[in-house]
Chains A and B, each alone.
Chain A
């Protein structure tokens, strides 16, 4: 299929990535090539084939709901670009 600049722009928006006009141009062209290559999967007969999301026979790995040691808030906030009290600081969310 053809991937348009608008499709790339939309995916970049969903991924929260600002693209410069030049980047958008180049990416659209490269993704078009990559998707062209990927399109050969359309030739495979996948009727009645179950999907493999990962190869282990594991589902819903649970543990007992017992409290255990965890990071202190100070430790967890150590790497934050901005800290406000005991919280991560961010710019305004609502108008």
Chain B
């Protein structure tokens, strides 16, 4: 019997399309059916109304194109022309961007079908569980009572539940890798400057990157081929040639030097996760890699540095949401008083932002304010230098760094949402990567006794994604994890 197309990876589908065994119409039909069957349990998508559903039509069926009409699902903070892009926030209610983000334009040119419904996320990417969405929390396909991670939780869950073939997320402190780890899929954060952020609604501009969340490493490489490259519309885009990433999917990692940072294997790391990650490292060794323990001495400062820099940048980036140009505007509630502009700003932002957004904007405003700037913001920028230097030093001697992606497997919905600090700590292994601007990938490396996936994180030098793919692919092809599917 022929396999349902929704179960397959993009590269398997491309092969079948080339052999005329399927086509984009059939793939989209199959995906629609799958979404209908399981979405009420997972809730990976937002605004999946009937009208949005019917917009699942191929916009490019050119068989010579790279993606041949294969559907791609997009996080709700990446602009899609004419289709709502709301960052899962009330303050962007009804926003229909008048233009496409560069990554969307590139996907369309490569023959992708873009889904009109977007994937769920923590409001403005503020969170690690997708519980901060103004819509609803997404449920983990491996345990419907557990979180999917965040902030790109909708994308990761859609891939894990076969409700998407390919997806894009964004990563500011782990928002691609941590949900990929919690959902047992592959998530890549590219080098800062590798992928254009034009049309990505900014959270923290010195940290944000767009990247793929996919079923396997080859699909990740295929998407990176499409979305990478210089863009004059993003002043932080770097003009470095884009190699064909699929060419680096070899099977030889003999002699590769791996660094294992001591600071990532201490208190706070779940015992089961630790064992699973150590087994994965031994697997890499048996495949020919060498490893040695190293120290990244400033690791413990990554979270405080991040929560100063990211909130400072967010407070500035989110100043644009004021009820004037787009989205939500609060109504004038006291008819007998004069409605002044400043009242409109205060009310719109007070009612339009969720709790975590308010917390971060106010913290960011505080650390930048007169009298505190030097003590907090400037100090954080200096410690950021030290964190980056730790990595620079390790990469003079080693090819890559291998760590757990997150200290635990997926936690329960509601478990950490009332304690912001506890939530922030679930990004402890992913945040340094953004501060240093380097690329990293999370790939599945096993399951806990309760059946929850665990992620392995691999880090390399800037613009060295090829090595990242090589190591990740070799591990993946020699282990069964990427073939596992949740029973929903």
Q: Which residues of B contact A3 (CB under 8 A)?
A: 366
> For B298, B315, B355, B363, which residue has the most chain A Cβ atoms within 10 angstroms?
B363
For residues 299 through 355 of chain B, which have their beta carbon under 8 Å from a beta carbon of chain A?
300-301, 303-305, 307-308, 315, 319, 322-329, 332, 338-347, 349-351, 353, 355
A23 in contact (CB, < 8 A): yes
B471 in contact (CB, < 8 A): no
**What are 22 A-B interface contacts by the 8 Å CB criterion?**
A1-B375, A11-B363, A15-B361, A16-B342, A16-B345, A18-B350, A34-B420, A37-B304, A38-B304, A38-B307, A41-B379, A55-B388, A58-B238, A75-B98, A78-B98, A79-B94, A80-B324, A81-B327, A81-B328, A90-B324, A90-B344, A92-B339
Verify B421–A37 contact, CB threshold 8 A: yes
For residues 8 through 58 of chain A, which have their beta carbon under 8 Å from a beta carbon of chain B?
8, 10-12, 14-20, 23, 27, 30-31, 33-34, 37-42, 44, 46, 49-56, 58
CA distance A38 to B302 in the complex (A): 10
Q: Whose C-beta in chain B lies nearest to the C-beta of A72?
A: B98
Verify A53–B359 contact, CB threshold 8 A: no
Q: Which residues of B contact A82 (CB under 8 A)?
A: 329
Assuming A53-B206, A92-B339, is B358 touching A19 (CB within 8 A)? yes
CA distance A30 to B424 in the complex (A): 13
B236 in contact (CB, < 8 A): yes
Q: Whose C-beta in chain B lies nearest to the C-beta of A93?
A: B341
Q: Which residues of A contact B232 (CB under 8 A)?
A: 63
> For B332, B384, B436, which residue has the most chain A Cβ atoms within 10 angstroms?
B384
A2 in contact (CB, < 8 A): no
Q: Which residues of A contact B436 (CB under 8 A)?
A: 55
Mostly, the A contact residues are loop
CA distance A6 to B224 in the complex (A): 48
Q: Which residues of B contact A46 (CB under 8 A)?
A: 379, 382-383, 386
B203 in contact (CB, < 8 A): no
CA distance A73 to B131 in the complex (A): 37
Question: By the criterion of a CB under 8 Å from any partner CB, how many residues of chain A are at the interface?
Answer: 52
Q: Whose C-beta in chain A lies nearest to the C-beta of B323?
A: A81
A85 in contact (CB, < 8 A): no
Verify B339–A71 contact, CB threshold 8 A: no
A91 in contact (CB, < 8 A): yes
Q: Which residues of A contact B305 (CB under 8 A)?
A: 41
Q: Which residues of A contact B366 (CB under 8 A)?
A: 3, 7-8, 11, 31
Q: Which residues of B contact A81 (CB under 8 A)?
A: 323-324, 326-329
CA distance A51 to B193 in the complex (A): 19
Q: Which residues of B contact A33 (CB under 8 A)?
A: 420-421
Verify A49–B365 contact, CB threshold 8 A: no
Verify A52–B349 contact, CB threshold 8 A: no
Q: Which residues of A contact B424 (CB under 8 A)?
A: 34
- Give the distance to chain B from A13, nearest Cβ to Cβ, in Å: 8
CA distance A64 to B375 in the complex (A): 39
Verify A56–B329 contact, CB threshold 8 A: no
B274 in contact (CB, < 8 A): no
Closest 6 CB pairs of A and B: A18-B350, A55-B437, A51-B381, A79-B326, A81-B329, A54-B206
CA distance A20 to B355 in the complex (A): 12
Interface contact tally, CB-CB below 8 A: 169
B275 in contact (CB, < 8 A): no
Verify A31–B380 contact, CB threshold 8 A: no
Q: Whose C-beta in chain A lies nearest to the C-beta of B362?
A: A11
Verify B236–A54 contact, CB threshold 8 A: yes
CA distance A18 to B341 in the complex (A): 13
Q: Whose C-beta in chain A lies nearest to the C-beta of B206?
A: A54
- Give the distance to chain A from B98, nearest Cβ to Cβ, in Å: 5
CA distance A23 to B355 in the complex (A): 9
CA distance A79 to B320 in the complex (A): 14
Q: Which residues of B contact A41 (CB under 8 A)?
A: 301, 304-305, 308, 379-380, 383
- Give the distance to chain B from A43, nearest Cβ to Cβ, in Å: 9
Q: Whose C-beta in chain B lies nearest to the C-beta of A55?
A: B437
Q: Which residues of A contact B315 (CB under 8 A)?
A: 15
B95 in contact (CB, < 8 A): yes
Q: Which residues of B contact A39 (CB under 8 A)?
A: 304
Verify A18–B325 contact, CB threshold 8 A: no
CA distance A94 to B3 in the complex (A): 67
Q: Which residues of B contact A11 (CB under 8 A)?
A: 362-363, 365-366, 369
For the A-B complex with A38-B308, A41-B301, A55-B436 known, give 20 more contacts whose Cβ atoms are closer than 8 Å. A3-B366, A16-B349, A30-B420, A31-B363, A31-B366, A34-B421, A38-B376, A42-B379, A44-B301, A44-B379, A49-B383, A51-B378, A53-B206, A53-B381, A55-B192, A80-B324, A80-B325, A88-B324, A91-B343, A91-B344
Verify A58–B236 contact, CB threshold 8 A: yes
Verify A50–B343 contact, CB threshold 8 A: no
Q: Which residues of B contact A50 (CB under 8 A)?
A: 382, 385
Verify B98–A92 contact, CB threshold 8 A: no
- Give the distance to chain A from B316, nearest Cβ to Cβ, in Å: 10
CA distance A8 to B349 in the complex (A): 16
Assuming A18-B347, A30-B359, is B383 touching A56 (CB within 8 A)? no
Q: Which residues of B contact A49 (CB under 8 A)?
A: 382-383, 385-386
Verify A52–B384 contact, CB threshold 8 A: yes
For residues 189 through 205 of chain B, which have their beta carbon under 8 Å from a beta carbon of chain A?
192-193, 205
CA distance A71 to B369 in the complex (A): 35
Q: Mark each residue of chain B from 169 to 206: 1 if its CB lies under 8 Å from any CB of chain A, else 0.
A: 00000000000000000000000110000000000011
